Amino acid sequence: MSDSWSLNLDAMPQPEVFLTRQAAMCELDEVAHSGNYPAWRMYRAGLRSMITAPIIVDTTVIGVFVVASRLPRNYTETDIHTAQQLADAVAGSFANLRLHRRLRRELIERETISAIAKTIRSSLDIESSMPADHPSTVRFRPT
């Protein structure tokens, strides 16, 4: 999952949900005949009513949750509210995924830094890095 990408609003039957940031219901026959090509395609496929709810993560609309029906006027205000709750749950999952990835990266960085520090510490410990009987070992004795 990329953290930066864009959506084509022209490909959406209800692009207004990106501006209002609220779930909306539409009757596809009305929207399709207004010249909205995606809605027309959905209408031609037999769909008649639809709810679109924005998926918002960190104040950014990253996608939409769509529910569609072959029955006209099939949804109620309760359905719109439920669709928005589901979209919010999806947004929470995306936020958790991003957090998990960030924490995993930080853990890998810390493990790497720890390994480097251990290597540096061991190379600075001359007593343990060179045997006492090595020919180049010089022992200093305090006077």
What is the per-residue pLDDT across 74-110, written as a single tens digit (0 to 9) for each? 999 999 999 999 999 999 999 999 999 999 999 999 9
Token pair of 115, please?
Answer: 């390994």
What is the per-residue pLDDT across 24-78, written as a single tens digit (0 to 9) for each? 898 888 877 777 777 778 888 888 999 999 999 988 888 899 999 999 999 999 9
Q: Is pTM, for the whole model, over 0.75? A: no
Which of 8, 15, 4 minimizes the C-alpha distance to 66?
A: 15
Give the Cβ contact number of residue 40 at 10 Å: 17
Overall size of the chain counted in residues? 143
Q: Find the helix or strand (DSSP H, E) in which 97 lies.
A: helix 77-124
Q: Find the helix or strand (DSSP H, E) in which 57 lies.
A: strand 49-57
**In which order are the strands placed within the sheet that holds 49-57?**
24-27, 49-57, 60-69
CA atoms of 40 and 64, how far apart (whole Å): 18
Fold observed for domain 9-98: Beta-Lactamase (3.30.450)
Ramachandran angles phi, psi of 95, nearest 5°: -60, -40
Token pair of 47, please?
Answer: 């769909």
How do the domains of the chain map onto residue ranges?
A: 9-98
